[in-house]
């Protein structure tokens, strides 16, 4: 996607400094996967612990871009919140809420639908992937416009940094383009041009059944993913059955080229162990999968079991989860509402009801 302005130019003016603030979210469109955990959630916790202001969201309005059973959506949203909390998000230090409770997202999403261009949206690979082999005419308008709502999620808080997995890179480029176009169209220096934070060994965790496909909540095969709610036996069985090739592990990172399944298991190991891929390769060069997989099982169970145990404990009290989400929504609303009021002023909307 090309931008009319360079990322540093805003409305032809010198860009101002924006307060560092992190925003990110996860769709409650299914259970949280190991991909969501390593690519996003684990890093949300690290950012919180670095002391940056962090705003995190279960994006339930994104989830309904494909049909969701209402009762399951409520359950999955609570389960997603439990995953955030169990992984280490502290609702006192981070703002944690579900998107639909803060109407600024939908309101700014509409304004950005009027800023973004159809051509930008139709070039999004996620749109193409999600409609591939299907009748795109029958997809929801919301699925097409999804990136405008995502830009609103981020910019409603003037967030400056967004930790995400690699698959969201293009949507973040579009968020930057929307911010730049808004600033240019209205001759203001209002929205920051956000920085994607795509870091670590597991920015794209792949399916356990096919190393060329992303691990995804909505994959029809549960064997393709590890869910944060899986117990130790299930994790062990899924890793034991994970697709691999017949070669032992190589002695250099280059040796993982053209071996997507091997590369995926090594990356998962590195991310869970907090090691570099080079370290994992150095420690396991020449190992057969019959040796490496049990090590990965032990590591995955050690890292994930405390999270699933804590999730189970939290899920026993859904009222408490709803209370945390409600408090977070109040705090999120207090940040977003003044920003949205300024957007209405900038765009020429009369706001005479405002006290
Ligand atoms: N496989 C992955 N590896 C690394 N990061 C991933 N993320 C998702 N899958 C992987 C990151 O998790 C965050 C939340 O993603 P999302 O829930 O908003 O939507 P998604 O990217 O479309 O995730 P799924 O699991 O594939 O959901 P469905 O199946 O509903 O489309 C994002 O930061 C994402 O990059």
What is the predicted pLDDT for the residue at 354? 65
Record: fold of 7-12+19-202+317-346: Rossmann fold (3.40.50)
* Alpha carbon nearest to ligand 1 atom 2, residue: 35
CA distances from residue 135 to 50, 132, 139 in whole angstroms, order as listed: 45, 8, 7
Closest CA to 80 of 64, 96, 102, 101: 96
> On the CB side of 29, how many CA atoms lie within 13 Å of its CA?
17
Token pair in block for residue 285: 């060069």
Secondary structure letter of residue 197 according to DSSP: E
Domain ranges across the chain: 7-12+19-202+317-346, 222-314
- Give the dihedral sign, CA 108/111/115/119: positive
Check for a shared fold between 7-12+19-202+317-346 and 222-314: no
The helix (H) or strand (E) run that includes residue 25 is strand 21-26
* Alpha carbon nearest to ligand 1 atom 10, residue: 35
Looking at ligand 1, which atom is closest to the CA of residue 59? 18
Q: What whole-number distance in Å separates Cα of residue 211 and Cα of residue 242?
A: 10
- Give the dihedral sign, CA 83/85/89/92: positive
355 residues of the chain, pLDDT tens digit each: 444 444 444 444 556 789 999 999 999 999 999 999 999 999 999 999 999 999 999 999 999 999 999 999 999 999 999 999 999 999 999 999 999 999 999 999 999 999 999 999 999 999 999 998 888 999 999 999 999 999 999 999 999 999 999 999 999 999 999 999 999 999 999 999 999 999 988 999 999 999 999 999 989 999 999 999 999 999 999 999 999 999 999 999 999 999 999 999 999 999 999 999 999 999 999 999 999 999 999 999 999 999 999 999 999 999 999 999 999 999 999 999 999 999 999 999 999 986 6
What is the predicted pLDDT for the residue at 12? 46
Per-residue b or e along 18-54, where b marks 16 or more CB atoms closer than 10 Å to that residue's CB: eeebbbbbbbbbbbbbbbbbbbbbbbbbebbeeeebb
CA of 215 to the centre of ligand 1 (A): 8
Instruction: Check: pTM over 0.75? Answer yes or no.
Output: yes
What is the predicted pLDDT for the residue at 2? 40
What CATH architecture does domain 222-314 belong to? Orthogonal Bundle (1.10)
What is the predicted pLDDT for the residue at 15? 62
Q: Is 217 a catalytic residue?
A: yes
27 within ligand 1 shell (Cβ under 6 A) = yes
């Amino acid at each position: 996607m090309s931008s009319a302005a360079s990322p540093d130019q805003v409305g032809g003016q010198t860009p101002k400094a924006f307060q560092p603030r992190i925003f990110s979210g996860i769709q409650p469109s299914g259970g949280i996967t190991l991909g969501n955990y390593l690519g996003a959630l684990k890093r949300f916790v690290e950012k919180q612990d670095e002391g940056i202001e962090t705003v995190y969201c279960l994006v339930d309005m994104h989830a309904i871009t494909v049909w969701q059973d209402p009762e399951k959506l409520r359950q999955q949203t609570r389960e997603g919140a439990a995953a955030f909390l169990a992984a280490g998000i502290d609702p006192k230090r981070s703002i944690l809420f579900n998107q639909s409770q803060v109407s600024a997202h939908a309101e700014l999403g509409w304004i950005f639908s009027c800023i973004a261009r159809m051509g930008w949206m139709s070039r999004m690979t996620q749109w193409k992937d999600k409609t591939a082999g299907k009748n795109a005419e029958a997809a929801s308008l919301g699925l097409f416009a999804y990136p405008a709502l995502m830009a609103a999620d981020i910019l409603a808080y003037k967030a400056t940094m967004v930790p995400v997995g690699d698959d969201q890179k293009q949507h973040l480029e579009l968020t930057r383009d929307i911010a730049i176009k808004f600033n240019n169209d209205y001759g203001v220096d209002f929205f920051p041009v956000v920085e994607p934070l795509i870091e670590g060994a597991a920015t794209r965790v792949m399916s356990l059944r096919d190393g060329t496909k992303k691990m995804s909540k909505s994959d029809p095969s549960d064997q393709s993913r590890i869910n944060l709610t899986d117990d130790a036996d299930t994790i062990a069985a899924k890793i034991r059955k994970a697709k691999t090739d017949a070669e032992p592990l190589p002695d250099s990172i280059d040796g993982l080229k053209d071996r997507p399944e091997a590369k995926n298991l090594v990356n998962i190991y590195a991310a869970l162990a907090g090691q570099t891929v080079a370290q994992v390769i150095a420690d396991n060069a020449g190992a057969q999968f019959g040796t490496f997989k049990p090590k990965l099982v032990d590591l995955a169970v050690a890292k994930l079991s405390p999270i699933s145990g804590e999730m189970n404990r939290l899920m026993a009290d859904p009222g408490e989860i709803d209370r945390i989400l409600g408090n977070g929504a109040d705090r999120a609303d207090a940040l977003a509402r003044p920003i949205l009021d300024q957007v209405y002023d900038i765009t020429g909307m009369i706001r005479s009801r405002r006290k």
